[in-house]
């Protein structure tokens, strides 16, 4: 079975057929090896070699049985996707990659550099947590959830990515910069492509492939509760982030339509469960990121700030405030709150002892900021990398 599932959470998802298949798609490669009665250990040998020598034809990989050389080359390719354009922010160096898939679909990934230095003494941003390069990757082509502030939701869901296609975004990005952190905050709802995403994470953390630390990977979800619990069982060291965006059930249903299915209090119960399960031997409970996009006149009032404070004040969470990033074709006409309104919201949370960051608009000038990914193809391109 491929790393691209046929069914998402609560909705049938169009199955995408790929030929040749992605070499980094572990379920596909292991099924191939099993068919030829070849030991699974050969998969690691193949991945390790192509990462060291990407130009080597697959039928020339050393140390594999001769009987699989020709069919391996016929059935698989190292990269099924290509980078068709890159955009680099003139403000902060953020790079957006427009990636074309084998079947003609297009996705976007964003490479964000964090300098680790404060831009001003009062800076209260996550950039102060050390220098690193973070890759924001996509898990689906489009998204069915229709969050009202998000450009991807205007596309609808066109299909799930195979686990190999998800890992290929990392391959493309590493040609530009070293990548130490992964956030599943690109196009799509990661937990509606559960098998594809978890298979990709196992590949990214496999020492024979990409060797990333599980703790450097964050999966963001609007709250697919059953799969949040499943992720805690299957990949306990991976971090969770929850896209909240409202402090009460009624408002959340207006901003995030899927909230009609997932009750806010039940979602917060999973947050509590995550904190308990990530604590061990009396150690500090694991922190969970709570994202909150600020929409002027919608969810940025002092009353909303007070309600959010009351929801999270006794929970081990970090609140990530994100002033709305406008996108072309926004059907709701949302606006970004003025800085003083953002500051007042933030300050109320800080005074309650809540850890809170205001997220920088990384890549906003190239439509690469939070909520802007929708294959718009805007801004001046830099030199293509392929």
Phi, psi of 174 (to 5 degrees): -70, -15
- Tabulate helix, strand, coil % of the chain (nearest 5): 35, 20, 45
The residue among 237, 203, 198 whose CA lies nearest residue 50 is 203
Asked whether residue 374 carries a pLDDT value surpassing 70, the answer given is no
Give yes or no for a contact between 197 and 188, defined as CB atoms under 8 angstroms apart: no
pLDDT of 324 over the 90 cut: yes
First-to-last C-alpha distance (Å) of the chain: 31
pLDDT band at 126 (very low <50, low <70, confident <90, very high): very low
CA 190 – CA 231 distance, rounded (Å): 11
Residue 370 annotated in active site = yes
The residue ranges of every structural domain in the chain are: 17-77, 82-382
Q: Is residue 292 classed as helix, strand or coil in its secondary structure? A: strand
- Say which residue, 38 or 148, is predicted with more confidence: 38
| Residue 153 clears pLDDT 80, i.e. is over it | no
At 256-272, the pLDDT tens digits run 999 999 999 999 999 99
CA 22 to each of CA 46, 173, 227, 341: distance values in angstroms, whole numbers, following the listed order: 13, 17, 25, 47
Share of the chain above pLDDT 90, in %: 74
pLDDT tens digits for 344-355? 999 999 999 999
Give percent of the chain with pLDDT exceeding 70.
Answer: 83
Predicted local distance difference test score (pLDDT) of residue 15: 79
Residues 6+ apart with CB under 8 A from 58: 23, 46, 50, 69, 72, 73, 76, 77, 78
Most confident of 92-96, 122-126, 167-171, 274-278: 167-171
Report yes or no: 98 and 134 within 8 Å, Cβ to Cβ: no
Q: Is the pLDDT of residue 118 over 60?
A: no
**DSSP per position, 23-79:** TT-HHHHHHHHHHTT--THHHHHHHHHHHH-TTS-GGG-TTS-GGGHHHHHHHEES-
Q: Which pLDDT band, with edges at 50, 70 and 90, does 283 fall under?
A: low
Q: Cβ distance 368 to 89 under 8 Å?
A: yes
- pLDDT tens-place string over residues 36-52: 999 999 999 999 999 99
Stated pTM of the model: 0.87
Torsion from C-alpha of 49, 54, 60, 65, nearest 10 degrees: 40
Please tell me whether residue 367 adopts helix, strand or coil conformation.
coil
- The confidence band for 275, taking pLDDT boundaries of 50, 70 and 90, is confident
Span 323-348, average pLDDT? 92
Domain 82-382 indexed as CATH 1.10.760.10: no
Q: Do 117 and 127 meet the contact criterion of CB atoms below 8 Å apart?
A: yes
Calpha distance 65→61 (Å, rounded) = 10
Check residues 164 and 316 and name the one with the higher pLDDT.
Answer: 164
Average pLDDT, the chain: 87
Phi, psi of 241 (to 5 degrees): -130, 140
From 108, 168, 189, 358, the catalytic residue: 108
CA dihedral sign, ordered 182, 188, 191, 197: negative
Residue labelled with tokens 């030991």: 39
304 catalytic, yes or no?
no
* pLDDT score at 105: 95
């Amino acid at each position: 079975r491929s790393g691209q599932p046929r069914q998402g959470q609560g909705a049938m998802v169009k199955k995408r057929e790929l030929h040749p298949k992605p070499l980094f798609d572990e379920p596909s490669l292991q099924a191939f090896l099993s068919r030829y009665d070849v030991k699974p250990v050969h998969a690691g040998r193949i991945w390790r070699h192509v990462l060291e020598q990407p130009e080597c034809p697959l039928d020339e990989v050393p140390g594999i049985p001769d009987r699989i050389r020709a069919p391996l080359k016929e059935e698989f390719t190292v990269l099924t996707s290509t980078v068709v354009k890159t955009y680099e922010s003139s403000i902060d160096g953020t790079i957006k990659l427009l990636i074309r898939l084998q079947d003609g679909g297009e996705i976007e990934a964003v490479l964000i550099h964090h300098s680790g230095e404060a831009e001003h003494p009062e800076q209260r941003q996550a950039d102060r947590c050390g220098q690193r390069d973070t890759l924001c990757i996509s898990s689906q082509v489009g998204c069915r959830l229709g969050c009202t502030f998000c450009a991807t939701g205007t596309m609808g869901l066109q299909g799930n990515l195979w686990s190999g296609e998800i890992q290929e975004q990392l391959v493309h990005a590493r040609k530009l910069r070293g990548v130490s952190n992964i956030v599943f905050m690109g196009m799509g709802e990661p937990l509606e492509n559960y098998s594809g995403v978890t298979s990709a994470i196992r590949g990214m953390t496999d020492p024979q492939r990409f060797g990333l630390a599980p703790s450097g990977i964050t999966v963001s979800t609007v709250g697919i509760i059953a799969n949040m619990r499943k992720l805690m069982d299957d990949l306990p060291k991976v971090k969770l982030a929850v896209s909240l965006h409202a402090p009460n059930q009624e408002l959340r249903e207006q901003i995030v339509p899927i909230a009609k299915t997932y009750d806010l209090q039940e979602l917060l119960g999973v947050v509590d469960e995550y904190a308990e399960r990530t604590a061990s031997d009396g150690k500090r409970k694991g922190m969970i990121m709570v994202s909150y996009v600020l929409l002027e006149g919608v969810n940025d009032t002092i009353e909303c700030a007070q309600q959010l404070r009351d929801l999270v004040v006794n929970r081990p969470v970090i609140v990530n405030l994100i002033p709305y990033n406008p996108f072309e074709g926004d059907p709701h006409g949302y606006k970004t709150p003025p800085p003083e309104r953002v500051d007042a919201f933030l300050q109320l949370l800080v005074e309650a002892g809540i850890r809170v960051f205001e997220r920088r608009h990384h890549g906003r000038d190239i439509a690469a900021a939070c909520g802007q990914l929708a294959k718009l193809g805007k801004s001046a391109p830099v030199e293509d990398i392929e």
